[in-house]
Amino acid sequence: MKTPGPQFSHDSYSSFFHFLSTHQPDLTPVSRWGQPILQQQSHYELSAPRPSPFTHGTTVLAFKYEQGVIIAGDRRATEGFQIAENRMEKVFKTDDYSAMAIAGAAGPCVEMAKLFSIELEHYEKLDGVQLSCEGKANRLGQMVKANLPLVMQGLVVIPLFVGYDTKRSVGRIFKYDITGGRYEETEFHSVGSGGKDARLLLKERFKKNLDHQAAIRVALLALANAAEEDVGTGGPDPIRRIYPTMKLVNTQGVQDVEDDTLSTVWEELIHARSKEH
């Protein structure tokens, strides 16, 4: 039923994703791959588990520390039993006060991160203010939900979103399920094939108000632990100087943790461990 009286145009929502879906649907992930392949597959068993031909495997984690939130991810991408890439970036700065990390199929993952950061920038430019932390988290949930047809084909994208809430002056962590369900975490979370292993370590080592040095150490340890237990997760590689991607999100915005810092912390950890054995 059409309501009488004037109505605002849908364009007034300032959403780039909405604009794209309306005017250039071929550029959104879902309408490009979603429907046609799904129809072709309809006579196969969609629910039957089978090895996915797409790049998979990952550990990404986030937890709160004294100044805000830390978010980190390993660098490995796999294709079946092969390593496809060992310098992959899975943690992205999405705007001045937020970042996201992604687990799942590489292509759609990177694309979602890219679209989401354009979405935030677009809103900021159109409305003249940044979205609230809550608003960003909800918007990401809707984008994950829009991705559901791809999930049915095995192209799963599971993000982990962190933001510094400038109004409440706290760092916040949000996790998602494949249907776009959004759940806020109070302390820590990790996702991906090695997510459980990282989470077990975080459960042991996480304390409230860790300083940023300690937070970097715990994050690195959790990722290294996951890499030891999970084939889809790559550990630190001092020879090629490949270290996890790590970002701190706090009042000052989003800062990268430099490779030099990570290399020093990693050497200390190795040194301490070798003494114990």
Q: Interaction with other proteins in 207-246: which residues (CB under 8 A)?
A: none
Binder to other proteins among 45, 128, 186, 275 (CB under 8 A)?
128
What is the pattern of x (binds other proteins, CB under 8 A) and - over residues 3-32?
A: --------x----x--xx--xx--x-----
Q: Which of 28, 55, 58, 245 is catalytic?
A: 58
Q: Which of 66/127 has CB closer to other proteins?
A: 127
Residue 131 contacts residue 140 (beta carbons within 8 Å): no
Q: Does the footprint of other proteins cover residue 118 (CB under 8 A)?
A: yes
Binder among 37, 126, 200, 214 for other proteins (CB under 8 A):
126
Q: What residues numbered 43-102 form the site for other proteins, per CB under 8 A?
A: none
**Is residue 58 annotated as a catalytic residue, yes or no?**
yes
CB of 94 vs other proteins, minimal distance in Å: 13
Residue 125 found at the interface with other proteins (CB under 8 A): yes
Please state the closest distance from residue 51 (CB atom) to other proteins, in A.
32
Q: Is 115 in the site for other proteins (CB under 8 A)?
A: yes
Round to whole Å and give the CA distance between 171 and 193: 25
Query: How far, in Å, are 155, 162, 207, 219, 227 from residue 196 at the CA level?
Result: 20, 19, 18, 14, 11
Size of the site for other proteins (CB under 8 A): 15
Complex with other proteins: residue 119 or 197, whichever CB lies closer: 119
Cβ 111 vs Cβ 102: under 8 Å: no
Q: Which of 232, 248, 240 is nearest to 266 (CA)?
A: 240
Q: Of 122, 68, 62, 66, give the one whose Cα is nearest residue 92.
A: 62
Nearest-Å Rg of the Cα atoms of the chain is: 20
For residue 196, count CB atoms less than 10 angstroms from its CB and return exposed for 0-12, middle for 13-18, buried for 19 or more.
middle
Instruction: Tell me 242's DSSP state.
Output: B
Q: For residue 275, give both structure tokens.
A: 């003494």
Residues in touch with other proteins (CB under 8 A): 11, 16, 19-20, 23-24, 27, 114-115, 118, 121-122, 125-126, 128
Catalytic residues: 58
